[in-house]
Amino acid sequence: MLREGIEDEIVDWIQRKVAARDCDGAVVGLSGGIDSSTTAVLTQRAFGDNCLGVMLPASGTVSKDMEYSQMLAEEFDINTLTLNLKDVNDQIEKTFHSLDIEKVERGCYPQTAINTPDCADQNIQTRMRMMALYYVAESKNYVVMGTNNKSEIVSGYFTLYGDGGTDLRPLGDLLKTEVWELAERIGVPDEIINRPPTGGLQGGEEGATDAEEFGLDYETFDQIYLALQRGEDLTQFDFDKVNRVVEILAAAENKSEVPSFPKN
């Protein structure tokens, strides 16, 4: 369970980190999911009108993403901006598909063991959104607020230079299950809290869930991850699920690090 008042600590941390960069506020990419919603509410508490929620529909679960994003913005009086990236996304895909490349069939992103097909195409969206968020942020002297939680970071469930490309990560040390707890505390609507976690990059009403791509749910992942970190008895868990968590963590261990040749 999260300690009492941690939401106020995060708001204070956001304010101090943004001030240290000599910036005036922050942009948050609104996806209609619990992580971006929780981040947006905390950022709005920190900066009021200088918090800008940016909606960037491209493809995938666009209608639901927009519906929940607008619900949150209205509930918490968050200023918003919408930039439809669908035409740009489609054109980039068309251009890239014209390349004479024989695609390798694989089920996972590089440096993850998470089953997500068509990652090359899907990652176009996340990297394009990163460019849009930085354009807005740099135009307004704001920072780009990251929405990744610790479960996503340690499992590699993010796109390098996409949603992984941010200035600050207010939820970066909170596991997914802790984000659910925090969201309830700060009043994120139940419809968003109870929405099945999804990357939102695939078509359909909700797209493939994170649990389907992970091979296990976040509650199980977080419990096993904590047990591994604390050196606790793992026989309380299903053997195959422990192995799956170990596999995911091992594959993502160095994802955020870009190696440099050591000349000395």
Longest Cα pair distance anywhere in the chain, in angstroms?
56
Per-residue pLDDT tens for 205-252? 556 788 888 889 999 999 999 999 999 999 999 999 999 999 999 999
Mean pLDDT by 10 residues, the chain (264 residues): 96 98 98 97 98 90 86 98 94 94 76 77 92 98 98 93 96 98 98 85 61 90 98 96 95 87 91
Q: What is the pTM of this model?
A: 0.93
| Range(s) of the domain holding residue 21 | 6-99+106-251
Residue 64 forms part of a structural domain: yes
pLDDT at 202: 53
pLDDT at 264: 87
Per-residue pLDDT tens for 170-184? 999 999 999 999 999
In the block, tokens 């918490």 appear at 76
Residue 145 vs residues 44, 97, 165, 203, 251: alpha-carbon distances, Å: 11, 32, 10, 26, 26
Residue 257 forms part of a structural domain: no
Residue 1 forms part of a structural domain: no
Residue 259 forms part of a structural domain: no
Residue 260 forms part of a structural domain: no
| Contact call for residues 82 and 73 (beta carbons, < 8 A) | no
Residue 258 forms part of a structural domain: no
pLDDT at 236: 96
Domain CATH code at residue 60: 3.40.50.620
Split into its structural domains, the chain has a count of: 1
Considering the chain, what percentage of its residues have pLDDT values greater than 70?
94
Residue 263 forms part of a structural domain: no
Residue 262 forms part of a structural domain: no
Q: Which residues of 186-215 are buried (b: 16+ CB within 10 A; e: fewer)?
A: eebbeebbebebbbbbbeeeebbebbebbb
